[in-house]
């Protein structure tokens, strides 16, 4: 069993239906509309609710940031790379995110939140040298980690090679790369690979990439926090991929204007 805490993570775990909840505990000391809505959601979905003291929730969550809500859930089952690469029913290009050794749970949570926001088709995490999906990750992601499809792989390079065999372009983000991320056409099947905090991509992962993209920096610092950099590129990909669908018909030529000289 695992523990989730915080209003958003617990609520999204219930709504997603991706994991079985044993029960939800709420603080006796907290009474407000948001908590009442969560308790009502538990009742309508048949989830048992227990009342506990705030101190007891703090002991169970091992933090006082639980917001008076805690859920005991079954251990998460991860997908395989084959599950992510299964054919889609629609004809839209697929967009994946691969994380090469992100060890800070707050960075991981922020990236999963952005991944959910842009609608990625799946996230690939290595089993080793990577932060696990903990309650801290769920809290930082505001519950988005419960909705994102996540595959855990033993060898990231091998997984990326499998994706290349399925005609998925592998795009690494590197401060010494070329071209700029805005110059790349994301209207294709692709996976964005982000490297470790401070160290970037491992050499073998970098060699596996088809392209290395960069974010231009105008200041004295050469790079951004990985969760910020990932968000910038993911939303550029979303902007490009939405543009054809939202493109409007060309405006009609302007009518001749009457005035001096007419």
Asked if residue 34 lies in contact with residue 168, where contact means CB atoms within 8 angstroms, the answer is no
Cis peptide before 8 (omega within 30 of 0): no
The answer, yes or no, to whether residue 249 has pLDDT greater than 50, is no
Q: Are the C-beta atoms of 114 and 83 separated by less than 8 Å?
A: no
C-alpha dihedral, 199 to 229 to 116 to 208, nearest 10°:
-50
126 Cβ contact partners less than 8 Å away, ≥ 6 residues apart: 99, 100, 101, 152, 153, 154, 155, 156
Region of poorest pLDDT, from 89-98, 186-195, 233-242: 89-98
Prediction pTM value: 0.83
At 161, the pLDDT band (50, 70, 90 cuts) reads: very high
Every domain of the chain and the residues it spans: 2-73, 81-243
Virtual torsion, Cα 124, 127, 129, 132, nearest 10 deg:
80
Architecture of domain 81-243: 3-Layer(aba) Sandwich (3.40)
Q: Which tens digit of pLDDT belongs to each residue from 5-18?
A: 999 999 988 988 87
Mean pLDDT for all residues in the chain: 89
Question: The domain 2-73 is classified under which CATH number: 3.60.20.10, 3.40.47.10, 3.40.50.300, 3.30.1330.30?
Answer: 3.30.1330.30
Radius of gyration of the chain (CA): 22
pLDDT for the residue 244? 57
* CA gap 85, 67 in Å, rounded: 38
Percent of the chain with pLDDT over 90: 69
**Can you give the pLDDT at residue 255?**
46
213 pLDDT tier (thresholds 50, 70, 90): very high
Helix, strand, or coil (residue 228): helix
Q: Which of 158, 81, 154 is nearest to 122 (CA)?
A: 81
């Amino acid at each position: 069993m695992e523990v989730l805490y915080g209003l958003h993570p617990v609520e999204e775990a219930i709504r997603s239906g991706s994991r079985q909840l044993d029960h939800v505990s709420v603080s006796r000391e907290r009474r407000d509309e948001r908590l009442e809505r969560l308790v009502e959601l538990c009742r309508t979905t048949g989830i048992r609710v227990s009342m506990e003291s705030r101190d007891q929730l703090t002991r169970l969550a091992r933090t006082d940031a639980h917001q008076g809500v805690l859920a005991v859930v079954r251990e998460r089952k991860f997908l395989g790379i084959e599950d992510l690469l299964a054919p889609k029913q629609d004809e839209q290009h697929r967009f994946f995110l691969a994380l090469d050794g992100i060890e800070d749970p707050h960075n991981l949570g922020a990236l999963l939140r952005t991944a959910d926001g842009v609608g990625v088709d799946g996230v690939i995490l290595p089993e080793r040298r990577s932060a696990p999906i903990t309650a801290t990750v769920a809290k930082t992601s505001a519950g988005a980690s419960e909705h994102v499809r996540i595959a855990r792989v033993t060898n990231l390079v091998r997984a990326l090679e499998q994706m290349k065999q399925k005609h998925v372009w592998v795009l690494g983000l590197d401060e010494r790369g070329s071209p700029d991320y805005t110059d790349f056409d994301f209207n294709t099947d692709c996976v964005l690979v982000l490297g470790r905090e401070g160290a970037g991509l491992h050499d073998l992962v970098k060699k596996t990439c088809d392209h290395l993209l960069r974010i231009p920096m105008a200041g004295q610092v050469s790079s951004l926090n990985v969760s910020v950099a990932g968000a910038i590129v993911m939303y550029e990909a979303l902007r490009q991929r939405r543009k054809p669908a939202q493109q409007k018909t060309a405006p009609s030529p302007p009518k001749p204007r009457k005035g001096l000289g007419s």
